[in-house]
Amino acid sequence: MNQSLSGTGVAIVTPFHFSGETDFGSLRKLLNNIIENGVDFIVGLGTTSEAVTLTSEEKKEVMKYVIETVDSRIPVVMGIGGNNTRSVIEEIDNTDFTGISAILSVAPYYNKPNQRGIYEHFKTISEHSPVPIILYNVPGRTSSNISAETTLKLAKDFKNIAAIKEASGDFDQIMKIIQSKPDGFNVLSGDDALTLPMISLGAEGVISVIANGYPEQFSKMVNLARIGDIEDARNIHYELISIINLIFEDGNPAGIKAVLEILGIMGNNLRLPMVPVNHDLYMKLAYAVEQIKID
């Protein structure tokens, strides 16, 4: 795994105008703020981007703009996944990977394949992808889990399956993967609130949502944790934990988009079926933003 794809990755939102069209001006502002405040890589077209509501043409436009704006300053990861293996392969085959360092591919959702089906799905993706693959395990969304055994078998069998974004919240499973993974395979937290304990156990970083709004603070926490300065990392963790919990209370990315509006980075616009957070939560988020120290 390219070591530059460790540390703090950010699953970026897709800003929209009130009309529903992509707000490229706000996307540029978001990307520059993230990069200038020390994150290690960007993830476009993940869950937080509302990718499932973007057309194929919009996805191409967004990724083209992201790559041009990032301008090789840090690596860019692209989300390509789904529950129809053939469709995922077709998307890979029809994608221009210029400027793309890796893909993030979610476990098949809804149809709930068994572990053999999950293995064969990612085996097929591995055989077609021209760039490294980050597995994405998020049982809360997919209704299925990539077991530790399946993760380790994929990591050992396919050199271009180079990392996993682990959002199962199952520390027994996470520790099994960290303890037995091959050299060069990275474990990345998929849960902002669990990033510090996961790094303390041996994870190499995170793909974060809160870092859309607080890239400097969250990156600093990750960097401190990775060098073993747990006390200082813990201080930042507890400074951010309230707002981290709040941004997921009424759905992602509704929470982080509300924060980004409060911070003046973009409008609080989503595409159905996602809607903005309720008024009471918005006010809680506004108060939480006021409490966070900006160095």
Statement: residue 235 has pLDDT above 60 = yes
Statement: residue 2 has pLDDT above 60 = no
Q: Within a domain: residue 156?
A: yes
pLDDT of 5: 87
Statement: residue 189 has pLDDT above 80 = yes
Q: Within a domain: residue 147?
A: yes
Q: Within a domain: residue 145?
A: yes
Mean pLDDT of 100-122: 97
Within 10 angstroms of residue 46's Cβ, the number of other Cβ atoms is 27
Mean pLDDT of 96-101: 97
Helices (H) and strands (E) in the chain, counts: 12, 8
Q: How far is CA 271 from the centre of its chain?
A: 19
Instruction: Tell me the catalytic residues.
Output: 136, 165
Angle formed at CA 77 by CA 71 and CA 82, multiple of 5 degrees: 145
Q: Within a domain: residue 28?
A: yes
CATH number, domain containing residue 22: 3.20.20.70
Band (154; pLDDT cuts 50, 70, 90): very high
Q: Within a domain: residue 260?
A: no
Coil vs helix vs strand at 77: strand
Which range marks the domain in which residue 25 is found? 3-227
Statement: residue 162 has pLDDT above 50 = yes
Q: Within a domain: residue 233?
A: no
Statement: residue 3 has pLDDT above 60 = no
Statement: residue 128 has pLDDT above 80 = yes
Q: Within a domain: residue 144?
A: yes
Q: What percent of the chain has pLDDT over 90?
A: 97
pLDDT of 295: 54
pTM for the model? 0.96
β strands within the chain, DSSP E: 7-11, 41-44, 76-79, 102-106, 133-137, 161-166, 186-189, 205-208
Q: What is the pLDDT of residues 33-53, one digit of tens each?
A: 999 999 999 999 999 999 999
Mean pLDDT of 69-73: 97
Q: At what angle do helices 254-262 and 230-247 cross, to 10 degrees?
A: 100
- Report how many domains make up the chain: 1
Band (1; pLDDT cuts 50, 70, 90): very low
Band (202; pLDDT cuts 50, 70, 90): very high
Q: Within a domain: residue 39?
A: yes
Statement: residue 90 has pLDDT above 50 = yes
Statement: residue 119 has pLDDT above 60 = yes
